[in-house]
A and B are shown apart, each in its own frame.
Chain A
Amino acid sequence: MKPTMLILPPNSKPKNLAMRKKFRFFTLLILANIFSIVALAQTKTISGNVKNSRTGDGVPAVSVTIKNGTAGTYTDEKGNFKLNSDSPVPLTLLVSSIGYELKEVPVSNTSTFIDISLTPASTLGQEVVVSATRTPSRILESPVTIERISAANIRNTAAVSYYDMIGKLKGVDVVSSSLTFSTPSTRGFNGSGNLRFNQIVDGMDNQAPGLNFAVGSIIGLTELDVESVELLPGASSALYGPGGQNGALIINSKDPFKYQGLSFQVKTGIMHVDSRERKPSPYYNWSLRWAEKVSDKFAFKVGGELIQAKDWIGDDYRDYDRLGTTGSVILGTRSTDPNYDGINIYGDETTVDIKSNVLNPLARAAPFYAPYVNALPSSIPVSRTGYLEKEIVNPNTVNVKLSGEVSYKLTRKLSLNAEGYWGTGNTVYTGSDRYSLLNLKVGQYKVELVHTNWFLRAYTTQENAGDSYNATVTARLFNEAWKPSGGTTGWYYQYSLAFLSAKLAGKTDIEAHNAARAVADVGRPVAGSDEFNRILDKVRSIPISQGGGLFVDKTNLYNVEGQYDLSPYTSKFANILIGGNYKRYVLNSEGTLFADSTGKIGINEVGAYIQASKRFINNKLNIIASARYDKNENFDGRFTPRVSAVITVAEDNNIRLTYQQAYRFGSTQQQYINLRVGGGTALIGGVQSFRTFYKFNSNPVYAIDDNLFAGHPQVANLPKFKAETVNSFEVGYKGLLIQKKLLIDLYGFYGIYNDFIARTLVAQSVNGDASVFSDPATVKANLNNPAITTTYSVPTNVNSDVTTYGFGIGLTYSLPANFVLGANVTSDHLDKVPANFIAAFNAPKHRVGASFSNTGFGYQKRLGFNFTYRWQDDVNYQGDFANGLVPAYQTLDGQVSYKFTAQNVLLKLGATNLLNEYYRNGFGNATIGGIYYVSIGYNIF
């Protein structure tokens, strides 16, 4: 939503109601008397300039409105404004901007240039947020926990990207797949491509409709165009629709009417400074924004950003015992485990039991060796030799973002906006495997009519996976393309013969394995060689469906939505807001990701919501009730309520209580994915047609659990796939204490998930022969043999409840001289989870954050700095790619800045992960070090 309402003074909620009534009165009056007014009106232009009283600098994007009037404008990048008004003099200008005290300026003569000086004020608790109720309200009075990042915060951050700032917010966890691909979440259930967290940019859901991850970190707003980032931790479906069970992130761009002029920022840095992963390499982040208010009615903006660097690398080379999509870290290296499967080494997922597949047949042909062969272990699984992630995955991170908007004010209250974001780039994503997203392209385009009281919006998300490929699948196929695994000239035959020969020469088993590998790997292409590149390029250019590693995905989303604020008509009873949307996904992966080899798959979804709020007891109690209904064609319809109360216990001190329900339908992948992943497991969708296609009824699937390994297979119970629900209870307090210098934010929540969507592993005999599961000695080998069994990862609903709880406390203290000290402690717990289900909670039990900053001190307040510290506990991380313990880690980011006032240039010297202490925040993901940079920004507001 465009922040049209933000022109209202931030602390004028009661007045707001009064003003609305007046607006309505004026509207009627204007409509009734429009011609006479036009005839009587005499348009005047008021000119002036707004300066910071302390520094004398011009202040851009300051709202200048006429008190009790409708006209308003914003200052330009130098603080100048021109306001056309037909109000009679004398009049009063209301001059307001976040971070400054509201000022009323009487104007008696419109021809005089007006110099206005605004006094900086503490912003503690003064911010206005929209996302909590879909209408503007003071952050202190928000009915739910909310975090906000303002343009001022971005200006003073040490993070290299505004998106990285989200991870420093209270209670937020981020999983970084790579330098530019990070996924935030709150209150647990995080992972790369989190499905329980909505991200909405300028009103558009920016989840890639086919890939199912939010693309906010790679496609979307450029840093210079972000006006605010609002984060709603916890359930949010009641207003934002399916998916927001663990939070919603609402990012708004800068209105071209308000933020004008040319801005640019050049960040140049260095990373990999200690050559741990690769040689030191530069980091570039250049961004540009140009907005122009052509007239009072028309404004536009264009922007662009380019990021270029050598990516962080997934370099966890620990040995992994994989079974389908589960597994655990085990002891082992390539030279000590013949079946070694390094986490970030690809191609070594291919495993064959050479005992049963080669040596036993050989012993049958040469029976005099049978006792010798029989004396070897009963199963000898051997993996093929893999390649390191840095050898298989494109090392160049490139991210290009382009955006633009035109905005036309049809009337003072009604604007027509058209906006587009387009981005492309290379990055690395972790899903069921690691993916090199190469030339990924995502575009989001919208047109909207925004009225003071309503909006109507249509947008589409156009996704194209470009040349992206699955690192595991590609590396495995690479090995097959170089030397096939099977056959009497195949790798495993050569290996087995060499193994037996080495045994017959006396070698111990492991020595014989290493000798055998050396023989079978003779001529193996060296990473980076011409032959290597030739095979790799070939394999990754062939779609997965045709036996390559390329995944083709051109899935699109179309969405139409509207909202009407009925308050002007209903305010006597209550403030009422209604809205609705229609969504259509068109899955198009040409059979590489979805079961759409025969044609595109459409999925329709409709939803509607209503919200009513009313204040009681002299405005000290505000009750807000919302409800939403959604229907997806593959799921039963869902109704979700939210009820919250805000109790004002004292001025600027509020207690909030909320009960809300949130839910999500399975993602498009959870509905229709049909993909063989690295270990050979078939990831399939939850819709009924898959079970029919794979004949689950006539050839039963068995749960892969302890019973199966004990030789007592149990037919898996797979009821109809349903939506997942969470019932969330939250209590919080936000208040200003100690002469409004200390902002306290407390919260506690309890969530109960029903029909929790998880994946479960089941196994099916290829030939319908259940006896392959009956011998405990061979079950595991059979499960790993695709000729005997197929393992499916099927989305399913957990019958029992999964519960979570957590709490947090945040303190922000405004010290004298503009110093601000912040600290927070948050905690999330998974309380109850049924056995054998992979919940992927992935949240540390404890986190600690601290910050110390100043946006202007020293000589002419030109100096600034910001240090942010974060520590988190270890996490027992679960994901489709790999599971294991992510150790506790800390990070420190810091920057110092200096402003050249006359030139309007901000110079920043900063670092993320200042101590260069490498860490991973997701298992199997990139290992992240420090980036040290210099940033020069012009006209950064």
Chain B
Amino acid sequence: MNNSFYKHRKLAGFCSFVMGVIIFTSCNKEIPGPIPIPYTPANNSTTSIGAEISSNPSYSIFKAAATRVGAMAMLSDSTKVFTVFLPDDNAFIASGIPSAAVIAQLPITSVGGIVNYAIIPGEQLTSENTSTAFPNVQLPTAITIGQLPGTTIPLNLSTFPSKRTNGFWDNNIPVVTPDIKFKNGVIHVVAGIVAPPSQLLKSALKANPNLTYFNAAIARADSGSTGLSRFDSLLNYAVTNMTVLAPNDAAFRTLIFGLAFQGYLDYLKSLGAVPTATDSANAFATGNGAVAAGPAFLSTNNISTAQVRGIIAYHFLATPNPNTGAYEPNIRVFSVNFSRTPSFVTTLVNSSYAPHPGILVSPTFTTVAPNVTIVTSLKFTGLGTFPPGGAPYSGAPATAVSLDNHAVNGVYYVIDKVLLPQ
């Protein structure tokens, strides 16, 4: 019996061998496991923004500033992504900071403001994906000024890049060289420092010595109002965007003189009298008297609160709230954001009279250097219908004598005429 086993063990051995060969030559494949999603850098580059700033000599002043405030590590971090509106040395010089040595002299908060206001964290905004819609796009910078109430989200100061056919700006500062891409984001070299705002509109307007009438007019317009329906409260509300056309004192004086002069003549007319030369002299005297009363005139009964409110409302640009349709002072328009061809922008007057055409804005764009296009002249024409709904008429245009005064919650222009809505 055993013999038969031994006799056939060769066969058995052969069978075992064949089976063994089959098995050992064909191992099971490794069981498939999870594969991470590969995340490539924001751009096809091996250099970080920080490294570029560090090594490129034309960024030496910004490098000094960023180094001083400890921002270089952040800008070199490849787990992050940034858009930097980077002032190169020429931009610093153009803005009055001639060298890195000056940076060391500046208060550190100012340096921090310059550096961090140039940075949009967490997003790569290229010129290509910047909206061309009026007026601009609001994006947070790296300057944190508080916390969103009731949340842990930081409240960061905003910046307002914009794009048009022939230009790309951050706020009102032109971008000279856009879209230099690095592994952790993109740099846009700007023509000057994009300065962070430091005041609210209320304080900024109050502090301007040429706007005493405007401030008095706001006080009059607000009488009897409460809360955010007060212009004063609005101007003091941090988290909004406003564009305010602030007529200077001369403009108001002209208006007041005209109102008083015309008022005297209208009074005579109402009596049925034909004005004499004396009457004209009296009208002049009345006008001069009203002007001599100073801004206090705006709190007298010579003019109604409703009239003042209407005038002020016409100096706040407004657009419809997309949710409610109500006109609200919700846009921050820098001079470069206005259309090249004269166009109307609506104002808060539209909140009480929606069909109002608004104000005709006529900017003059000038290219002062290659890729540096700015607005060199800006005119606002008040336009109304008289009587309301009737034939349109326009007064003489107001010229902006001071442009792009940037505050935390908006931008204001000083203009040389008071615009009248109707």
Contact = CB atoms under 8 A, between A and B. Distances in A.
Interface in B129-155: 131, 137-140, 142, 144, 148, 151-154
B253 to A, nearest CB: 37
9 contacts: A337-B37, A497-B152, A503-B122, A507-B122, A511-B80, A815-B11, A854-B12, A887-B28, A915-B23
Given A332-B36, A852-B15, A854-B12, 5 more contacts: A366-B153, A504-B144, A504-B154, A506-B122, A887-B31
A508 B36 CA distance: 16
A333 B240 CA distance: 41
Interface in B202-245: 239-241
Interface stretch (B2-10, B305-313, B347-355): B2-10
A854 B123 CA distance: 72
A90 interface: no
A333 B31 contact: no
Nearest to A915: B23
A336 B33 contact: no
A503 B39 contact: no
Contact of A819 (B8, B38, B152): B8
A850 B142 CA distance: 70
B139 A371 contact: yes
Interface string A94-129: 000000000000000000000000000000000000
A852 B19 contact: yes
A869 B36 contact: no
A32 interface: no
A871 B140 CA distance: 61
A39 interface: no
Nearest to B6: A817
B16 interface: yes
B196 to A, nearest CB: 15
Contact of A331 (B36, B74, B152): B36
B323 A506 contact: no
Interface in B17-56: 19, 22-23, 26-29, 31-39, 42
B158 A501 contact: no
A852 B16 contact: yes
Given A54-B1, A372-B123, A501 B154 contact: yes
B37 A331 contact: yes
Nearest to A888: B29
| Chain A interface, >50% SS class | mixed
A861 interface: yes
A131 B37 CA distance: 54
Contact of B34 (A54, A342, A507, A869): A342
Contacts of B179: none
Given A318-B32, A336-B36, A506-B77, A497 B153 contact: yes
Interface string A282-318: 0000000000000000000000000000000000111
B242 to A, nearest CB: 12
A336 B39 contact: yes
Contacts of B178: none
A260 B338 CA distance: 103
Sorted nearest first, the 5 A-B pairs with minimum C-beta distance are A506-B121, A503-B122, A506-B80, A917-B28, A336-B37
B23 A506 contact: no
Interface in B69-83: 74, 77, 79-82
Contacts of B239: 366, 368
- Among A318, A368, A503, the most chain B Cβ lie within 10 Å of the Cβ of A368
Interface residues of B, number: 57
A918 B19 CA distance: 20
Given A857-B5, A869-B19, A927 B31 contact: yes
A498 interface: yes
A919 B82 contact: no
A149 to B, nearest CB: 21
A335 B121 CA distance: 21
B37 A497 contact: no
A890 B20 CA distance: 13
B156 interface: yes
Contacts of A920: 31
A850 B22 contact: yes
A736 interface: no
Interface of B: 1-2, 4-5, 7-8, 11-12, 15-16, 19, 22-23, 26-29, 31-39, 42, 74, 77, 79-82, 119, 121-123, 125, 131, 137-140, 142, 144, 148, 151-154, 156, 158, 239-241, 323, 330
A719 B51 CA distance: 67
B26 to A, nearest CB: 6
Contacts of A854: 12
B27 A917 contact: yes
Chain A interface: which size bin? 35 or more
A506 B37 contact: no
Nearest to B148: A366
A319 B138 CA distance: 37
A871 B26 contact: yes
Contact of A333 (B37, B119, B144, B148): B37
A480 to B, nearest CB: 22
Nearest to A884: B32
A819 to B, nearest CB: 5
Contacts of B12: 815, 817, 819, 852, 854
Contact of A817 (B5, B81, B122, B152): B5
Contacts of A375: 123, 125, 139
Contacts of A857: 5
A807 interface: no
B29 A887 contact: yes
Contacts of A498: 152
B16 A512 contact: no
Nearest to A858: B5
Contacts of A919: 28, 31
A416 interface: no
Contact of A504 (B35, B125, B156, B241): B156
Contact of A867 (B19, B121, B151, B323): B19
Interface in A881-928: 887-890, 892, 915, 917-920, 927
A501 B140 CA distance: 11
A440 B80 CA distance: 52
B115 to A, nearest CB: 13
A372 B152 contact: no
B36 A506 contact: no
Nearest to A874: B29
Contacts of A624: none
B138 A371 contact: yes
B36 A333 contact: yes
A362 B151 CA distance: 10
B80 A507 contact: yes
A369 interface: yes
Given A368-B158, A819-B8, A507 B35 contact: no
Contacts of B138: 368, 370-372
A915 B140 CA distance: 60
A888 B142 CA distance: 54
Contact of A512 (B42, B122, B151, B158): B122
Nearest to A340: B34
Contacts of B42: 508
A787 interface: no
A364 interface: yes
A224 interface: no
A148 to B, nearest CB: 23
Contacts of A889: 28-29
A19 interface: no
A390 B277 CA distance: 105
A175 interface: no
Nearest to A337: B37
A821 interface: yes
Contact of A510 (B39, B121, B131, B241): B39
Given A507-B122, A887-B32, A915-B23, A816 B4 contact: yes
Contacts of A887: 28-29, 31-32
A890 B19 contact: no
Contacts of B153: 362, 366, 369, 497, 500-501, 504
